């Protein structure tokens, strides 16, 4: 037979300095300790989060710096010292000395006349402004070694060059009952150069393809041929 002894109120130990029983005091201390631990964990997570944010900001800054250096270091267009025109750095490996101009001129004036006539309608007005801007600030040059599109607008000054050896494909679309047309030149690196409202666009397309073949044949013939040595029999 087991006898359970229930402690009396006088036998329960109290915490010194308070009237709370020692078991309840330990329970309250445990609750306070858990709260402090949660606050500590929250602070640690906040510090870790701030460290992660700072590390992310550092990586983002490094990425932006690397991108900026690549943009300025390996840009395809560089500023010309003479006329302030941007030229393609790929053209540096070609020799354009003693080149002769085959055809040079602005966009066809018929494109401006047609767009001015249609500019009375508000829907056509943006196209009219674009046509007048091209006619005033764009010039096309076709030499025997390259084609160039020069823009000299106050808000945009650049020069796009394409050696005929770099051209992969040429597509044209006739405009104005065939008096002028748009040309899209695709380079070997898949860059595209657009020539809008180009006069004689069919003749110039044939000239581009012809010069590309001639210059490619010249380059192949100038390359030294490898000589295979034969041993003695």
Residue 95 and residue 176 share a domain:
yes
Residue 173 and residue 198 share a domain:
yes
User: pTM for the full model?
Assistant: 0.58
Task: Determine contact, residues 168/124, Cβ cutoff 8 Å.
Answer: no
Residue 144 and residue 101 share a domain:
yes
Residue 97 and residue 65 share a domain:
no
Residue 143 and residue 70 share a domain:
no
Q: Does 29 fall in a domain?
A: yes
Residue 139 and residue 99 share a domain:
yes
Q: Does 8 fall in a domain?
A: no
Nearby residues of 188 by Cβ (< 8 Å), 6 or more positions away: 166, 167, 168
**Which residue in 147, 124, 150, 129 sits closest to 139, CA to CA?**
150
Per-residue pLDDT of the chain in tens (233 residues, 90 and over written 9): 454 444 554 444 445 545 445 455 455 545 556 666 676 566 655 555 555 566 667 766 776 665 544 333 333 444 444 444 445 556 678 888 899 999 999 999 999 999 988 888 888 888 899 999 999 999 999 999 999 999 999 999 999 999 999 999 999 999 988 899 999 999 999 999 999 999 999 999 999 999 999 998 876 666 555 544 444 33
Q: Does 233 fall in a domain?
A: no
Domain edge (last residue) among 30, 59, 74: 74
Q: Does 25 fall in a domain?
A: yes
Residue 66 and residue 132 share a domain:
no
Domain containing residue 180: 78-220
Residue 86 and residue 41 share a domain:
no
Residue 108 and residue 59 share a domain:
no
Q: Does 108 fall in a domain?
A: yes
- Residues 151 and 158: their CA atoms lie apart, in Å, by 5
Tokens standing for residue 16: 């010194």
- C-beta atoms surrounding 14 within 10 Å: 12
- Residues 97 and 164: their CA atoms lie apart, in Å, by 15
Task: Determine contact, residues 122/107, Cβ cutoff 8 Å.
Answer: no
- Residues 181 and 175: their CA atoms lie apart, in Å, by 5
Q: Does 153 fall in a domain?
A: yes
Residue 112 and residue 125 share a domain:
yes
The CATH number of the domain holding residue 169 is: 2.30.29.30
Q: Does 228 fall in a domain?
A: no
Q: Of how many residues is the chain composed?
A: 233
Tally of domains within the chain: 2
């Amino acid at each position: 037979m087991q006898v359970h002894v229930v402690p009396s109120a006088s036998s329960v130990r109290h915490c010194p300095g308070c009237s709370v029983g020692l078991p309840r005091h330990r329970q309250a201390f445990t609750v306070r300790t858990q709260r402090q631990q949660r606050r500590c964990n929250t602070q640690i997570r906040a510090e870790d989060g701030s460290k992660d944010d700072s590390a992310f900001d550092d990586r983002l800054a490094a990425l932006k710096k690397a991108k900026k250096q690549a943009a300025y270091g390996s840009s395809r267009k560089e500023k010309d010292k003479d006329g302030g025109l941007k030229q393609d750095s790929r053209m540096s490996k070609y020799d354009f000395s003693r080149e002769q101009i085959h055809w040079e001129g602005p966009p066809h004036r018929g494109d401006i006349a047609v767009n001015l006539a249609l500019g009375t309608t508000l829907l056509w007005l943006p196209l009219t402004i674009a046509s007048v801007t091209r006619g005033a600030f764009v010039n096309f040059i076709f030499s025997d070694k390259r084609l160039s599109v020069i823009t000299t607008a106050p808000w945009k000054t650049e020069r796009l060059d394409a050696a005929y050896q770099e051209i992969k494909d040429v597509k044209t679309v006739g405009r104005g009952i065939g008096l002028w047309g748009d040309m899209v030149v695709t380079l070997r690196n898949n860059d595209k150069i657009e020539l809008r409202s180009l006069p004689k666009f069919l003749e110039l397309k044939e000239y581009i393809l012809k010069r590309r073949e001639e210059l490619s044949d010249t380059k192949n013939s100038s390359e030294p041929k490898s000589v295979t040595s034969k041993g003695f029999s």
